[in-house]
Amino acid sequence: MLNRQLKDFGLHPILGYVLLMLVFVTVTEVLYVKTEYGAWLICVMAFSTVLRFSSKSRSEFLCLTFGDRMKKKIRWIENMIICLPFLISMLVHRAFEAAAITLLLASFMALVHFLKSREWVIPTPFSNRPYEFAVGFRNTWFLFPVILVLIGMAVKVDNANLSIFALVLLQLMIISYYLKPEDEFYIWIYSKTPRQFLQSKLMTATQSSFLLSAPFIALIGFLFPGSIHIALTFMALGLVFLWAVILAKYAAHPREIHLPEMVILGLCLYLPILFLFSIPYFYTKAIQRLSILLK
């Protein structure tokens, strides 16, 4: 899949891999130098990469093809290979705690079952209208105990940074709800203009994101009062990044977000001021794409 994305971007796969390696090394080194949370942000990057290989359909395919036991072995090996560059970076910078948590999360994701359950449906605090959150919440419910455990560990070791990492993990999980494009029919059924459609999507995403994040923000504020301003800052950045991802999703529609959008989003994380330019750019492209389906 990555080979195809690199070719779509106009790069030879070998050259693409070399550039990705250079970008990875550069970004990780900058994170270590520029912020004290560099190791935890790299841990989040590793987890987000693993998460992309943990889809329900993929887990079902591996289970049906190889059986449940072999599926877990394959998933564990894949996760270890994916996390290897991140782990090497952490070990080089002696971030042993972040490396250990990365290993635990990667191993946990390999053991989780993603098969559909026909016996019961997990209730959600969301209506049917913002389906991304209703579906995403049901697919990632098992991560909420992980986030609470991380916050509990932060209290035990008196490390506020770990609680901030848990919050970043939550924001990353919310962003993952919007990575997959929906069928054109689910856009066409709206009797809205492209601008009204995007405004509705951004509004429901903002409301639902706040609904999920507020309890954890309050918990961090209660346990680590001195870090509440950091938690609020990360929540605000997460919300802005969520807006950019939603707009990038519809700017790329009907295909998935590919390397060009990823590069822009990655640059925005490195220099948040670039959101001032990327969001209007994605918004304009999204309007053009949606104008085909919406009038």
Q: Lowest mean pLDDT of 50-59, 120-129, 231-240, 277-286, name the range.
A: 120-129
Q: What is the DSSP letter of 181?
A: P
Alpha helices per DSSP H over the chain:
2-8, 13-34, 38-52, 56-66, 68-92, 96-111, 131-139, 143-156, 160-176, 185-188, 194-223, 228-252, 259-270, 275-290
Give me the count of residues in the chain.
295
Highest mean pLDDT of the ranges 13-27, 114-128, 197-211, 252-266: 197-211
Q: Lowest mean pLDDT of 29-38, 92-101, 159-168, name the range.
A: 29-38
Higher pLDDT, 133 or 16: 133
Q: Lowest mean pLDDT of 94-98, 117-121, 131-135, name the range.
A: 117-121
Q: Lowest mean pLDDT of 42-46, 116-120, 186-190, name the range.
A: 116-120
Q: Could you give the percent of the chain with pLDDT greater than 90?
A: 15
* Neighbour-count burial of 268, counting CB atoms closer than 10 A to its CB (0-12 exposed, 13-18 middle, 19+ buried): buried
Q: Kindly state the average pLDDT of the residues 239-265.
A: 87
Helix (H, G, I), strand (E, B) or coil at 193: coil
The whole-model pTM stands at: 0.66
State how far the Cα of 214 lies from the Cα of 29, in Å rounded to an integer: 32
Q: What is the pLDDT of residues 140-173, one digit of tens each?
A: 777 788 788 888 888 888 888 888 888 888 998 8
Helix (H, G, I), strand (E, B) or coil at 210: helix
Q: Kindly state the average pLDDT of the residues 223-232.
A: 90
Given a cut of 70, whether residue 270 has pLDDT beyond it is yes
Cβ atoms of residues 181 and 289 within 8 Å: no
Quote the pLDDT of residue 284: 93
Quote the pLDDT of residue 116: 47
Higher pLDDT, 193 or 114: 193
Q: What is the pLDDT of residues 163-201, one digit of tens each?
A: 888 888 899 889 988 888 888 777 877 778 889 889 989
Q: Kindly state the average pLDDT of the residues 45-72.
A: 78
Residue extents of the structural domains in the chain: 35-115, 127-295
Quote the pLDDT of residue 245: 93
Confidence of residue 45 (pLDDT cuts 50, 70, 90): confident
Higher pLDDT, 21 or 115: 21
Confidence of residue 6 (pLDDT cuts 50, 70, 90): low
Higher pLDDT, 2 or 252: 252
Quote the pLDDT of residue 115: 45
Confidence of residue 124 (pLDDT cuts 50, 70, 90): low
Given a cut of 50, whether residue 119 has pLDDT beyond it is no
Q: What is the DSSP letter of 274?
A: G
The mean predicted confidence, pLDDT, of the chain is 81
* Joined tokens for residue 272: 């948040």
Q: What is the pLDDT of residues 242-254, one digit of tens each?
A: 999 999 999 988 8
